[in-house]
């Protein structure tokens, strides 16, 4: 299964610094990203979770070059999205990143078979027929679909369609793979299969991956999960699967560059914390009390 493309090393991660995205229409302004800091190392696979409306899709659209950030810094695979010219944006979308949508139908052209869908981005990038055939065969192999190469999307199951979508997203050897709820329309077993394919391409091709999901099972399969709340990163969960006791998972609050952090919502409600809290610095930790306690 490991082929020539399997030896390619990742050459890009993701960095966001105080990223702001404001959607403006005639009468309303929505601040979808409110100074978001994020770092994904080259070759890392990370999941992004958060309530509906917290800014997950906005972040992915900005990182994927589909939406322009309003302020702050976003660098993806070495490309600065703030200063990027429109013509560079098109090349960036075509070559530097791969994007997978939740709707299986949005990822593939219905009248092309799986192989032709995978070859299409390479045609647009000017690859030769021979090169396209070779790479499409390799990618269909990596996602486990060589024997379905001549099937059109409607002849494939939802899970198989998302596998083809992963191959399509990888066609032009992107450094970064962005997926917005790629398992949202699939049952749990199929969703786990898709995550396992994403892990395989991450490990074998060295592609950096950021996957939006609301499925804890999907999240549990990666080493780091980032939670977004109100357009900012609130917590991170790190998983260590090296120990004898199975997977050990720990959740951390995230400090931004100004020293701000969000207290988890259930901590705030458990102690009925309101506008002010009392802080106390101890030798190795910080205490937080409701204002009324003395």
Interface contacts to ligand ADP, rule CB under 6 A: 23, 30, 32, 50, 52-58
Read off φ and ψ for residue 97, nearest 5 degrees: -130, 160
Task: Evaluate whether 135 touches 2 at the Cβ level (below 8 Å).
Answer: no
We find the least distance from the C-beta atom of residue 165 to ligand ADP, in angstroms, to be 18
Please choose, out of 55-63, 219-227, 235-243, 253-261, the segment that lies near Mg ion by the rule CB under 5 A: 55-63
53 binds, among ligand ADP, Mg ion, none (CB under 5 to 8 A by kind): ligand ADP
Q: Minimum distance from CB of 158 to ligand ADP (Å)?
A: 20
Smallest gap from residue 112 Cβ to Mg ion (A): 27
- Closest approach of Cβ 212 to ligand ADP, in Å? 7
HEC assignment per residue over 75-132: EECCEECCCCCHHHHHHHHHHHEEEECCCHHHHCCCCCCHHHHHHHHHHHCCCCHHHH
209 binds, among ligand ADP, Mg ion, none (CB under 5 to 8 A by kind): none
188-198 burial code (b ≥16 CB/10 A, e <16)? eebbbbbbebb
**Phi, psi (deg, nearest 5) at residue 182:** -65, -15
**58, interface contact from ligand ADP, Mg ion, none, CB < 5-8 Å by kind:** ligand ADP
The helix-helix angle for 114-124 and 129-142 (nearest 10°) equals: 130
Partners of residue 23 on adjacent β-strands: 30
Out of 16, 50, 54, 57, the only residue in the binding site for Mg ion (CB under 5 A) is 57
In the complex, what is the shortest distance from the CB of residue 10 to Mg ion, in angstroms, rounded to a whole number? 26
Choose among ligand ADP, Mg ion, none what residue 52 binds, the Cβ cut-off being 5 to 8 Å by kind: ligand ADP
- In the stretch 6-45, what mask flags binding to Mg ion with x, by CB under 5 A? ----------------------------------------
Complex with ligand ADP: residue 57 or 234, whichever CB lies closer: 57
Reported as half-sphere exposure (CB side, CA atoms, 13 A), residue 224 has a value of: 17
Tell me which of Mg ion, ligand ADP, none is bound by residue 54, counting a contact when its beta carbon lies within the kind-specific cut-off of 5 to 8 angstroms.
ligand ADP
- In this complex, which beta carbon is closest to ligand ADP, that of residue 32 or of residue 194? 32
Residue 47 binds to Mg ion (criterion: CB under 5 A): no
Instruction: Give CA angle at 78 (118, 210), nearest 5°.
Output: 55
Sign, CA dihedral 217-240-57-13, equals negative
User: In terms of CB distance, is 23 or 111 closer to ligand ADP?
Assistant: 23
> Measured between alpha carbons, how far is 265 from 254 in angstroms, rounded to an integer?
14
Least distance CB 47 / ligand ADP (angstroms)? 13
Q: Give yes or no for a contact between 46 and 222, defined as CB atoms under 8 angstroms apart.
A: yes
* Residue 106, CA atoms < 13 Å, CB-side half-sphere: 10
Looking at the Cβ atoms of 21 and 135, the one nearer to ligand ADP is 21
CB of 80 to ligand ADP, least distance (A): 22
Residues lying near Mg ion in the complex (CB under 5 A) are found at: 56-57
């Amino acid at each position: 299964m490991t082929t020539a493309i399997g030896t390619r090393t990742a050459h890009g991660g993701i960095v966001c610094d105080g990223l702001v995205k404001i959607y403006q229409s005639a009468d309303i302004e929505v601040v979808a990203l409110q100074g978001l800091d994020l770092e994904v190392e080259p070759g890392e696979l990370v999941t992004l979770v958060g309530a509906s409306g917290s800014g997950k899709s906005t972040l992915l659209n900005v990182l994927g070059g589909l939406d322009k950030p309003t302020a702050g810094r976003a660098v993806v695979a070495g490309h600065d999205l703030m200063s990027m010219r429109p013509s560079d944006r098109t090349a960036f979308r075509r070559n530097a990143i791969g994007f997978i949508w939740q709707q299986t139908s949005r990822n593939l052209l219905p009248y092309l078979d799986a192989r032709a869908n995978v070859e299409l981005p390479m045609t647009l990038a000017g690859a030769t027929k021979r090169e396209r055939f070779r790479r499409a065969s390799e990618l269909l192999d990596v996602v486990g679909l060589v024997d379905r190469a001549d099937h059109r999307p409607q002849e494939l199951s939802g899970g198989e369609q998302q596998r083809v979508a992963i191959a399509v997203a990888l066609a032009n050897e992107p450094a970064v793979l962005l997926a917005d709820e790629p398992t949202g329309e699939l049952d749990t077993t199929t969703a786990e299969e898709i995550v396992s394919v994403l892990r395989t391409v991450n490990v074998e091709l060295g592609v950096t991956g950021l996957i939006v999901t609301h499925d804890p099972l999907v999240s549990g399969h990666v080493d780091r999960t980032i939670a977004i709340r109100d357009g900012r990163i609130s917590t991170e969960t790190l998983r260590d699967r090296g120990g004898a006791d199975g997977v050990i998972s720990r959740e951390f609050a995230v400090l931004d560059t100004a020293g701000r952090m969000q207290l988890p919502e259930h901590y705030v409600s458990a102690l009925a914390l309101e506008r002010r809290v009392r802080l106390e610095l101890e030798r190795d930790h910080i205490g937080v009390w409701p204002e009324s306690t003395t």
